[in-house]
Amino acid sequence: MQRKLTLGLASGLLATLLAVSSSVSAQKSATDDIAKYREMIADGNPSELYEAAGEDLWKKPAGPKNATLEKCDLGLGAGVVKGAAAQLPRYFKDTNKVQDLESRLMTCMQVLQGRDPQEMIDAPFQKGPKKDMEAIVAYVVTASKGDKIKVSTNHPKEKEMYELGKRAFFFQGGPMDFSCASCHAENGKRIRLQDLPNLTEQKGAAMGWGYWPAYRVSSGQFWTMQQRLNDCYRQQRFPFPIYGSDVTIALSMYMAKTANGGTVETPGLKR
């Protein structure tokens, strides 16, 4: 009797191990297939169309002042685009604020072109002013592709924004009691076929931050980091954050600083 029980338990354990092994193998196969698919279509990343449109918008006179954005200072000097995105968010003396790429571009649009930032803030994603913003973002981030992520927290306001971002990342709330960390603070997590990078570690943060903004194949759209964060809050069942608000910039600062030393691979290509 005892022998039969032992054999039965052993058989059950073996079946469980085989099932787990099969599941892990299937997941690895699916992950590998997705990676191959991304590699296959990477040369034709549709973000290139957004980049080209963004370069035109960067050089095109617009707004009440009928001016271009070619004198916009993204942190490396007026008009310098190459490498700028790799060092954002950062502190800007003229605004006395830490700004990410999109909030900084809004400042340039306001100062150089006379455009009202509220119009950008109120516009829906993928439409109107935000559609133009998405193209300009694609143009700017592409100019940093291959550069090392190098975000500073030397200024007191940069340190403050980093700490705010860290607190926001781990803050739990809403009807599901979720936080950013619910999905992005452990290794090996996934949703369906999508691997979830651990954004609390350098490697995971580099994989996350370094590949956004990105073109999303599933929606056929180019998503900026502000839209990506907006969607994260939606999935947490939180109210949507205000476009360009401190909390979104703080979360970007936390991710970017953690990702330091990684490589900018934007525009990325996502499912």
Which positions are catalytic? 232
Q: Report how far residue 149's alpha carbon sits from residue 141's, in angstroms, rounded to the nearest whole number.
A: 12
Per the DSSP assignment, residues forming a β-bridge with 78 are 73
DSSP 20-49: HHHHHHHHHHHHHHHHHHHHHHGGG-THHH
Q: How far is residue 106's CA from residue 119's CA, in Å, rounded to a whole number?
A: 10
Tokens 């956004």 label which residue? Answer: 212
Beta pairing partners, 148: 263
Q: Are 174 and 238 in contact (CB under 8 A)?
A: yes
Question: d(Cα 240, Cα 232) in Å, to the nearest integer?
Answer: 9
Encoding tokens for residue 32? 């590998």
**What is the rounded radius of gyration, in angstroms, for the C-alpha atoms of the chain?**
22
